[in-house]
Amino acid sequence: MAESQTAELMDKIVSLCKRKGFIFQSSEIYGGINGFWDYGPLGVELRKNIRDCWWNDMVRQRDDVVGLESSIIMHPKVWEASGHVGGFTDPMVDCKVSKQRFRADQVFFAPVVVDGQVAGYVSALESERIAGELQEKAETLKRKKAIQGKLEPVQPRDFTEAKPDEIPLVPSPATGEPGSLTPPRAFNMMFETYVGALRDESAVAYLRPETAQGMFADFKAVLDTGRVKIPFGIAQIGKSFRNEITPRNFIFRSREFEQMEMEYFISDEDDWAKWHRYWIDWCRNWLISVGVSASELSEYDHPKEKLAFYSKGTTDIMFRYPFGVQELWGIAARGDYDLSQHAKASGIPMIYFDEATKRRYTPHVIEPAVGVDRIALAVLCSAYCEDQAPDEKGNLETRVVLRLHPRIAPIKAAVFPLLKNKPALVEKAKAVRDLLRPYLTVFYDEAGAIGRRYRRQDEVGTPFCITIDFDTLGEKGPELQDTVTLRERDSMKQERVKISDLVGLLLPKIR
Ligand code: ATP
């Protein structure tokens, strides 16, 4: 897709989310707060459905995974032991003129080389076509400076790789002028707070930047419940907080977000690569099961030289968002690092005793970690579609439809009386709504022409619409009495079904 088309798609999704009540900017009445989002009436349903599907498939349907809900604020020593206090940093760079702040690894630059001579520098913020953008800027610079000769292809590097003598020469992405960027420095992304009445060093605590440490800190407690045997996992869903330098791309990178993480503990002698592959496949299949387009998914293996010393391997499941291919789900093989660190720092051994072999060891772990918000965005991008549908007069018009998987669609079925001024129709439609309500999320709508009501539901991804008409009341004879029109969102096909069959028909389709 061309860049303008993808930007347009993103704009359409953001605007639909706001208009229809999926996602709003937090505190918008005060001008908003960067990196924080609110989920509106349909957004909360979507998120809840994503969470519920994950919890059901990850915990309830398995014998080897148990759940946990640990506190958001934990003992600060947790974050010292995990390495977050010392090392949970991103490289930050400031523009002294614009006062804007960037992540240094998201600022790309290149020398403009003409006939072997450096004629200046160009820079741009990370994007899918960074090399193309820098090349165009290099050509413009050459033209502006009226330099003759052959321009060499640009070699983009990120700003963390800038040499000290290059830093003053790289233009700020904010102003386009060189000389205002500071050297990159480490910025810790944890949000600090104080616990208790004192506001001194001893009271400092952190909002968790990930849920994972809850599983490690409670490893012994879960083990002692006697419910688990290696291999087993502990799963948790909950809010995490990161003071991201540049929150951006809508809900993709925010400062408050929700994670779904699972720590899968295996024997130190087990084949970690086999389990790693197992969980990558599981995660990929799960994404597809909730409606993420398989064709937009790919895998990225972190190069060995960029892994932390304890890491055996990390693979990210990537999704092609409109703003580029980005990490959706990380699956990391972390060895015994986390448990060993907590054992060392707390003095409590994190040892598993294998009854069968009488062997004691520190388990190793595979960690699939994903953000609910990134999944929500991926399903919205996968589902957004514009097609052609006939209007009231039979003329084709553009229809916006969210082809959300019925498992996660906020509303499963909408119920309409054909006309709102016919009490018998209204009464019957409300009875159908009440019949379905205990089993699925239903929405009753009587406002406007029936075609318009269908369109409104298409736009928010409701997979089924049920219309109660005069046939339902038996006006055309007893054979159609107590039947309704069931319309399917994607095919727009309509069929006549008995009211008494509705629950049995719909339930398997939405589960
Ligand atoms: P990134 O490189 O994009 O910053 P990360 O590698 O730091 O992500 P992890 O620490 O592995 O991310 O977190 C696990 C998952 O949590 C990510 O795969 C992503 O789905 C989600 N996540 C992480 N940071 C954010 C954020 N700021 N906003 C929304 N989701 C996030």
Report how far residue 315's alpha carbon sits from residue 333's, in angstroms, rounded to the nearest whole number: 9
Residue from 158, 259, 319 to probe ligand 1 pocket by mutation (most atoms less than 8 Å from CB):
259
* Distance in Å, CA 377 to ligand 1 centroid: 13
Beta carbons within 10 angstroms of residue 305's beta carbon: 5
- 6 has pLDDT over 80: no
* Distance in Å, CA 254 to ligand 1 centroid: 9
pTM above 0.85, yes or no: yes
Q: Are the C-beta atoms of residues 59 and 79 closer than 8 Å to each other?
A: no
Joined tokens for residue 180: 């205002």
Q: What is the pLDDT of residue 2?
A: 59
Q: Are the C-beta atoms of residues 474 and 484 closer than 8 Å to each other?
A: no
Q: Which atom of ligand 1 is nearest to the CA of 242?
A: 27
**DSSP H stretches of helix in 437-498:** 450-459
The residues, ordered by sequence, that sit 6+ positions from 170 with a Cβ below 8 Å of its Cβ are 107, 109, 121, 123, 159, 162, 178, 181
* Distance in Å, CA 249 to ligand 1 centroid: 13
Q: How confident is the model at residue 4 (pLDDT cuts 50, 70, 90)?
A: low
Q: Are the C-beta atoms of residues 305 and 110 closer than 8 Å to each other?
A: no
With helix as H, strand as E and coil as C, how does 275-318 read?
A: HHHHHHHHHHHHHHHCCCCHHHEEEEECCHHHCCCCCCEEEEEE
Least trusted range by pLDDT, from 3-17, 102-116, 315-329, 462-476: 3-17
Q: How confident is the model at residue 1 (pLDDT cuts 50, 70, 90)?
A: low
Q: How confident is the model at residue 414 (pLDDT cuts 50, 70, 90)?
A: very high
Residue of the CA atom closest to atom 28 of ligand 1: 253
Query: Closest Cα to residue 442, out of 419, 408, 472, 465?
Result: 465
The residues, ordered by sequence, that sit 6+ positions from 496 with a Cβ below 8 Å of its Cβ are 471, 480, 483, 484, 485, 486
Q: What is the pLDDT of residue 254?
A: 97
Ligand 1 near 330 CB (within 6 A) = yes
Report how far residue 299's alpha carbon sits from residue 379's, in angstroms, rounded to the nearest whole number: 18
Residue from 158, 257, 302, 328 to probe ligand 1 pocket by mutation (most atoms less than 8 Å from CB):
257
Ligand 1 near 373 CB (within 6 A) = yes
Q: What is the pLDDT of residue 345?
A: 98
**In this predicted model, which residue has the larger pLDDT, 1 or 65?**
65
Ligand 1 near 259 CB (within 6 A) = yes
In the chain, the percentage of residues whose pLDDT exceeds 70 is 99
* Distance in Å, CA 443 to ligand 1 centroid: 34
Least trusted range by pLDDT, from 112-116, 221-225, 271-275, 395-399: 395-399
Q: Once rounded to an integer, what is the mean pLDDT over residues 376-398? A: 92
Q: Once rounded to an integer, what is the mean pLDDT over residues 138-157? A: 95
Q: Are the C-beta atoms of residues 178 and 170 closer than 8 Å to each other?
A: yes
Report how far residue 134's alpha carbon sits from residue 108's, in angstroms, rounded to the nearest whole number: 8
Ligand 1 near 111 CB (within 6 A) = no
Q: Are the C-beta atoms of residues 17 and 410 closer than 8 Å to each other?
A: no
**Vertex 323 angle, CA 322 and 329, to 5°:** 85
Report how far residue 259's alpha carbon sits from residue 370's, in angstroms, rounded to the nearest whole number: 6
Report how far residue 281's alpha carbon sits from residue 289's, in angstroms, rounded to the nearest whole number: 12
- 308 has pLDDT over 90: no
Q: How far apart are the first and last CA of the chain?
A: 33
Ligand 1 near 90 CB (within 6 A) = no
In b/e form, how buried is each residue of 153-185, taking b as 16+ CB within 10 angstroms?
ebebbbbeebeeebbebbbbbbeeebebbeebe
Q: How confident is the model at residue 392 (pLDDT cuts 50, 70, 90)?
A: confident
φ/ψ bin of 358: left (φ > 0), alpha (ψ from -120 to 50), beta (otherwise): left
Q: What is the pLDDT of residue 62?
A: 98
Return the residue matching tokens 């003071």.
243
The residues, ordered by sequence, that sit 6+ positions from 105 with a Cβ below 8 Å of its Cβ are 90, 91, 126, 158, 159, 160
Joined tokens for residue 406: 């019925």
pLDDT digits (tens, 9 = 90+) for 196-234: 999 999 999 999 999 999 999 999 999 999 889 999 999
pLDDT digits (tens, 9 = 90+) for 236-282: 999 999 999 999 899 999 999 999 999 999 999 999 999 999 999 99
Ligand 1 near 242 CB (within 6 A) = yes
Report how far residue 321's alpha carbon sits from residue 384's, in angstroms, rounded to the nearest whole number: 12
Report how far residue 48's alpha carbon sits from residue 40's, in angstroms, rounded to the nearest whole number: 12
Give φ, ψ of 440 to 5 degrees: -155, 165
Q: Once rounded to an integer, what is the mean pLDDT over residues 359-373? A: 98
Q: Once rounded to an integer, what is the mean pLDDT over residues 427-435? A: 98
Tell me the torsion sign for CA atoms 430, 433, 437, 442: negative
Query: Closest Cα to residue 375, out of 285, 271, 252, 222?
Result: 252
Mean pLDDT of the chain: 96
